[in-house]
Structure 1
Amino acid sequence: MFLNNLTVHHEEVTYKASTDFRTKTEALRRKQENMAYKKIVESVDATQKYGKINHMENFGAELRVVNRQLISIVNIVITVVGAFFFGFSGVQFAYPHLHLDIATRFIIGLVPATIVFFADLYFIIKNMTEDDFGEEACAPNVLSFKEMKKND
């Protein structure tokens, strides 16, 4: 009846966007594409700096690490050389009546130098693991003074 006679009337609406609107939507589209690209390549380079790295950013921390490493190397060299000369010349002072030749004294000097070298190497490797993992790297069954102090 009345509803059958009704028809839907469509007006053709043409939307004309302003130039300001078009520039803003283009800027937003580019920004969204950049964000999507950064999300894709995030696992490749987490810093996303691509050659714009400030090399002086952590210079102080890196200098302290290098200084600590150089001091440990100098310490190793001094202790190993000292142990060698202790064995090399200590035998001559302790047993002057043996009249040992240079080759024998050299071999006797190598024994304590080798022992000291491997002891230093052990402590360097131990300190490297503590530096990498922090204090949690210590075994839980090892007694530490910090834990003893907490229990008091």
Structure 2
Amino acid sequence: TDLARAFPEACIVMGHCGCPLGYGPYAGRKDEVFAAWKASMAELATCPNVSIKLGGMMMRLAAYDYNTRPAPPTSAELASMWGPYIETCIELFGADRAMFESNFPVDRMGIGYAALWNAFKRIVSGASDGVKRGLFAGTARRVYRLD
């Protein structure tokens, strides 16, 4: 947040929903971590030069024990795990400053590519077409100057 405020003309992209953590000293403290993360993200969202990438939390949240489960999470399970974080980011930054991301090949250790994108679709299934266009393409086109 300090960096974004110090350089208001810079286009800054925060990756992986701001990197909430769920392992090491943060394990077993999900509610506390979420509250602190949300407060920090709300502060960052006040900086109009910051956009956020939605995804890339496969390892950071440690919400799914990949080594003990017989199969990767389904898109429904992933949507349930990541939904509160992604929905919070969309609420704080808006669809014009938020974009879905894949973190492949890293995320391949925990979920397939199609299941990942299906999870994103599940999370925003109730959103308007305009919001979906922003999240799935529009914001990335604008931020990365792809048009």
TM over 0.5: no
Question: Normalising to structure 2: TM-score of the pair?
Answer: 0.25
Question: Normalising to structure 1: TM-score of the pair?
Answer: 0.25
Structure having the higher helix fraction is 1
**Higher RCO structure, 1 or 2 (CA under 8 Å, sep 6+):** 2
The structure having more radius of gyration, on CA atoms, is 1
Structure having the higher strand fraction is 2
